[in-house]
Structure 1
Amino acid sequence: MNPFNSHTPFSYGLIKRLLMLSILVPLTTQVYAQEHLVASQTQYQQALKQLQPGDSIILKNGTWQDFEIVFTAQGTAEKPVTLTAQTKGSVILSGQSNLQLAGEYLQVSGLVFKDGFTPTNEVIAFKKSDTELANHSRITEVVIDNYNNPDRQMSDNWIGMYGQHNRLDHSHFVGKRNAGVTLAVRLEGEQNQQNHHRIDHNYFGPRPILGSNGGETIRIGTSHHSLTNSFTVVENNYFDRCDGEVEIISVKSGKNRIQNNLFYQSRGTLTLRHGNGNIIDSNVFLGNGVEHTGGIRIINRDQTITNNYLEGLTGTRFGSGFTIMNGVPNSPINRYHQVVNANVHHNSFINLEHIELAAGSDSERSAPPKDSTLTQNLFINPHSPFTLYDDISGLRFSDNITNFASKDINPIIKKGVNTHNITLVRAANGLLYPSDSKFAQYGVNSTLLPTTTQQTGPTWYPKSEPTVEFQSGKVIKVSNADGELDNAVAAALSGDTLLLSDGQYNIDTLLAINKTLTFKAANTHKAIVSFERPSLFEIQNNGNLQLDGLVINGKLSPDAPGNSVIRTLKWGMLTNYRFDMSNSIVEQLNSSNTFHFFDSGSRAFADTINVNNSQFRHISGDVFRLNKETDDIGIYNAEYLDITHNQFDDIVGNVATVYRGGTDESTFGPHVLVNHNQFTHVGKGQQNQTESILTLHGVQVSQIAHNTFTDSAAISIFHTVGEPQTTIANNQLINTPAPQVTEFVTQGKHTANINNNKVQTR
Structure 2
Amino acid sequence: MNNKFFIFSGFFLLSIASALSAAKDYSVSDYSEYQQAVEKLQPGDRVLLQDGVWRDVELVFAAVGTEQAPITLAAENPGKAVISGRSNLKLAGEHLVVRGLVFKNGYTPSDTVISFRTAKPESDSDYSTVAVNSRLTEVVIDDFSNPDRYETDYWVSIYGKNNRIDHNHFSFKRNKGVTMAVRLDTEHSRENNHVIEYNYFGPRPVLGSNGGETLRIGTSHYSLSDSLTTVANNYFEHCDGEVEIISNKSGKNVFRDNVFFESRGTLTLRHGNGNLVEGNAFIGNGVDHTGGIRVINADQVVKNNYMSGLTGSRFGGALVVMNGVPDSPINRYHQVKNSVISGNTLVNVERIIFGAGSDEERSAIPSNSRFTNNVVVNDSGESPFELHDSVKGIEFSGNKANFIVGDELSDGFEKVKGLASPQPDLPVKKEEVGVSWYPKYEKSDRFTINESVRVKPGTDTVLDAYAKISGAAELVLSEGEYHFSKTLLLDKPLVIRGAGKGKTRLTFARKSLVDLLNGSALRLQDVSISGVRAPDDKANAVIRSDSKPMNKNFSLELVGVEVIDLDINKDFDVIKLRKSTFADEVLVQDSSFANIKGSVLKLDSEKDDYGMYNAEYITVKNSSVNNATGSLMTVYRGGTDESTFGPHVHVDEVTVSSSPRADSQGNSILLHGVQRGLIENSHFDNSAPILVQHTVGGPVIRIEGNTYNHKPLYQVEDVVPGMESTFTADNNSFSE
Q: What's the TM-score, normalizing by structure 2? A: 0.94
Map 1:543-692 onto structure 2 (within 5 A): 543-684=520-661, 690-692=665-667
Counterpart of 1:10 in structure 2 is none
Structure 1: how far apart are the matches of 2:541 and 2:569? 10
Q: Name the residue aligned to 1:135.
A: 132
Residue 450 of structure 1 corresponds to 427
Letter in 2 for 1:257: V
CA contact (8 A) 1:733 1:760 kept: yes
Q: CA deviation at 1:594?
A: 1.4
Pair 750,420 (structure 1): closer, same or farther in 2 beyond 3 Å: closer
**How far apart are the structure 1 equivalents of 2:212 and 2:237?**
14
Residue 404 in structure 1 maps to residue 403 in structure 2: yes
The answer as to 2:681 corresponding to 1:706 is yes
The answer on 1:414 being equivalent to 2:416 is: no
Q: For residues 359 and 160 of structure 2, what CA distance do their matches in structure 1 show?
A: 39
Corresponding residue number in structure 1 for 2:72: 82
Distance (Å, rounded) in 2 between the aligned partners of 1:291 and 1:748: 24
1:126 maps to 2:116: yes
Which amino acid counterpart does residue 415 of structure 1 have in structure 2?
A: D
Q: Is the 8 A contact 1:194 1:229 kept in 2?
A: yes
User: Partners of 1:149 and 1:586 in 2: how far apart?
Assistant: 36
Which one of the candidate residues 400, 419, 424 is aligned to 2:420? 424
CA distance 1:562–1:685, shift in 2 (3 Å):
farther
3-state SS in 2 of match to 1:498: strand
Q: Relative to structure 1, is the Cα distance of residues 475 and 375 closer, same or farther in structure 2, using a 3 angstrom cutoff?
A: same
**Contact 2:307–2:345 (CA under 8 A) maintained in structure 1:** yes
Deviations 1:516-536 (A, max 9, x none): 000001455421111111100
Determine if the alignment matches structure 1 residue 332 to structure 2 residue 339.
no
1:480 positional shift: 1.1
Structure 1, 367-376 or 489-498: larger mean CA deviation: 489-498
Give unpaired runs (5+ residues) of structure 1: 1-24, 433-447
Q: For the residues of structure 1 that align with 2:283 and 2:437, how far apart are their CA atoms?
A: 26
RMSD between superposed Cα atoms in Å:
1.8
- 1:503-524 residue CA offsets vs partner (Å, 9 max, x unmatched): 1111111001100000001455
Aligned residue in 1 for 2:277 = 280
Distance 2:54 2:328 in 1: 49
Q: For 1:290, give the aligned amino acid.
A: V
Hey, what does 1:363 align to over in structure 2?
Answer: 360
Match of residue 668 from structure 2: 693
CA change 1:465–1:542 in 2 (3 A) is farther
Question: Equivalents in 2 of 1:326, 1:577: separation in Å?
Answer: 37
Q: Which amino acid aligns with 1:638?
A: A
Alpha-carbon offset, residue 466 of structure 1? 7.0
Shift in Å, 1:29:
7.4
1:485-496 to structure 2, matched below 5 A, reads 485-496=462-473
2:101 aligned residue: 111
Residue 422 of structure 1 deviates from its aligned partner by: 2.5
User: Equivalent residue for 1:745?
Assistant: 720
Measured in 2, the distance between the counterparts of 1:750 and 1:60 equals 59
C-alpha contact (below 8 Å) 2:460/2:482 kept by paired residues: no
Q: Trace 1:698-737 onto structure 2 (pairs within 5 A).
A: 698-737=673-712
The 3 A distance-change label for structure 1 pair 29 and 499 is closer
Q: In 1, distance between residues paired with 2:712 and 2:358?
A: 35
Q: What amino acid maps onto 2:434 in structure 1?
A: G
What number of residue pairs does the alignment pair up?
712
3-state SS in 1 of match to 2:33: helix
SS at match of 1:583: strand
CA distance in 2, matches of 1:498, 1:264: 36
Aligned match for 1:177, one of 174, 179, 198: 174
Match of 1:473 in 2: 450
CA shift, 1:467, in A, is 5.6
Deviation by residue 1:545-573 (Cα, 9 ceiling, x = unmatched): 10111111111111112111001112311
Alpha-carbon contact 2:214-2:239 (below 8 Å) kept: yes
- Structure with higher Rg: it is 1
* 2:214 corresponding residue in structure 1: 217
Question: How far is the alpha carbon of 1:130 from its aligned partner?
Answer: 1.2
Q: Find the aligned partners of 1:309 and 1:29 in 2 and give their Cα distance.
A: 50
Q: Which amino acid aligns with 2:555?
A: R
Structure 2: gaps (5+ residues):
1-13, 122-128
Contact 1:495 1:516 in 2 (8 A): yes
Q: 2:37 aligns with which of 40, 47, 53?
A: 47
Deviations 1:600-621 (CA, angstroms, capped at 9, x unpaired): 1111111110111111111111
- Give 1:37's aligned residue: 27
Task: Measure, in 2, the Cα distance between the counterparts of 1:309 and 1:735.
Answer: 52
Contact 1:374-1:395 within 8 A present in 2 as well: yes
| Matched AA of 1:331 | S
CA distance in 1: counterparts of 2:288 and 2:416, whole angstroms: 29
How many angstroms does 1:736 deviate by?
Answer: 4.7
Q: 1:542 touches 1:577 (CA, 8 Å); kept in 2? A: yes
- Structure-2 change in CA distance of 1:48 and 1:750 (3 Å): closer
Contact in 2 for aligned 1:70/1:101 (Cα 8 Å): yes
Q: Secondary structure at the match of 1:587?
A: strand
Per-residue Cα deviation, 1:261-300 (whole angstroms, up to 9, x for no partner) = 1001111000000011100011000111111111000001
**What secondary structure does 2:658 align onto?**
strand
For the 8 Å contact 2:499–2:527, the answer to whether it is kept is: no
State whether residues 401 and 420 of structure 1, in contact with CA within 8 Å, keep that contact through their aligned partners in structure 2. Answer: yes
Greater displacement, 158-167 / 589-598: 589-598
Q: What corresponds to 1:385 in structure 2?
A: 384
Q: 1:593 Cα shift?
A: 1.5
Q: Is the 8 A contact 2:662 2:686 kept in 1?
A: no
Deviations 1:696-731 (A, max 9, x none): 111111111110111111111111111111101110
Measured at CA, do residues 253 and 119 of structure 1 come closer, stay the same or move farther in structure 2, by a change above 3 Å? same
1:163 aligns with 2:138: no
* TM superposition shift of 1:453: 1.2
- Show the counterpart of 2:258: 261
Instruction: Write the distance in 2 (CA, Å) between the matches of 1:626 and 1:748.
Output: 24
Kindly indicate whether the alpha-carbon contact (under 8 Å) linking 2:259 and 2:426 is maintained by their aligned counterparts in 1.
no
Displacement of 1:735 after TM fit?
2.8
Q: 2:678 is paired with a residue of what secondary structure?
A: strand
| Aligned CA distance change for structure 1 residues 117 and 395 (closer, same or farther; 3 Å) | same
* Residues 1:509 and 2:500 aligned together: no
Displacement after TM superposition at 1:388 (Å): 0.5
- Residue aligned with 1:129, SS: coil
Q: 2:731 aligns with which of 756, 759, 762?
A: 756
Find out whether 1:147 has 2:144 as its counterpart: yes
Match of 1:14 in 2: none
**Pairing partner for 2:459 from 475, 482, 486:** 482
**CA distance in 2: counterparts of 1:557 and 1:724, whole angstroms:** 39
Q: Check conservation: 2:481, 2:506, Cα contact below 8 A.
A: yes
User: What are the superposed Cα offsets for residues 732-762 of structure 1, whole Å, 9 maximum, x if unpaired?
Assistant: 011353200011224499752012110122x
Q: Secondary structure at the match of 2:185?
A: coil
Runs of 4+ in structure 1 deviating by more than 6 angstroms, as ranges, are none
